[in-house]
Amino acid sequence: MSARPALSPLQTIGKLSVATGVKIPTIRFYEQIGLLPEPPRTASDRRLYDDAALQRLSFIRHARQLGFDLDAIRSLLDLADHPDRPCDEANIIAERHLVDVSEKIAQLQALRSELRRMTAECAGGRVSACKVIEALHDHDLCAAGHGRMEGGAMKSRQRRVARLTP
């Protein structure tokens, strides 16, 4: 894992938040859903965290920054907790995520192209003759497939993901 400033033994949630850049409610949420183990508490019920919690939370934050969903992160943490296991599963999870990211990029590129086309066709003037408004009223006027995955695109994605499934 990356070099992060180590906490001195058993620090508060506030110090963990500052050290990782993760907000306190998010830390509590990760505990509730089991991504972070419940920390020991003081007699006054304050949470106390050790360096292992810092490392785990840093891992989660980085995985979230890379766009992994919580289920994928849960699986990756399970793999990280068992370092003697083969890493094939981690690679499969990353490859699935890469397929999703590639599809999102393609959708965003199509969206950009369509918005460029719409704005280029707009000659100014009155809204009654505005090509942007006209295209938003009638999806059939759009030149690019920029909507959510439908039909063939969804089946294509399902086939690619199926190839990655062991």
Task: Say whether both 102 and 120 belong to one domain.
Answer: yes
In eight-state DSSP terms, residue 139 is G
Domain count, the chain: 2
- The pLDDT tens digits for 36-49 are 999 998 899 999 99
**How confident is the model at residue 16, as a pLDDT?**
96
Q: Which of 63, 79, 95 is the last residue in one of the domains?
A: 79
What whole-number distance in Å separates Cα of residue 142 and Cα of residue 134? 10
Residues 119-135, mean pLDDT to the nearest whole number:
80
What whole-number distance in Å separates Cα of residue 3 and Cα of residue 45? 30
Task: Quickly count: other Cβ atoms within 10 Å of residue 27's Cβ.
Answer: 23
What whole-number distance in Å separates Cα of residue 68 and Cα of residue 93? 9
Largest pairwise CA distance in the chain:
70
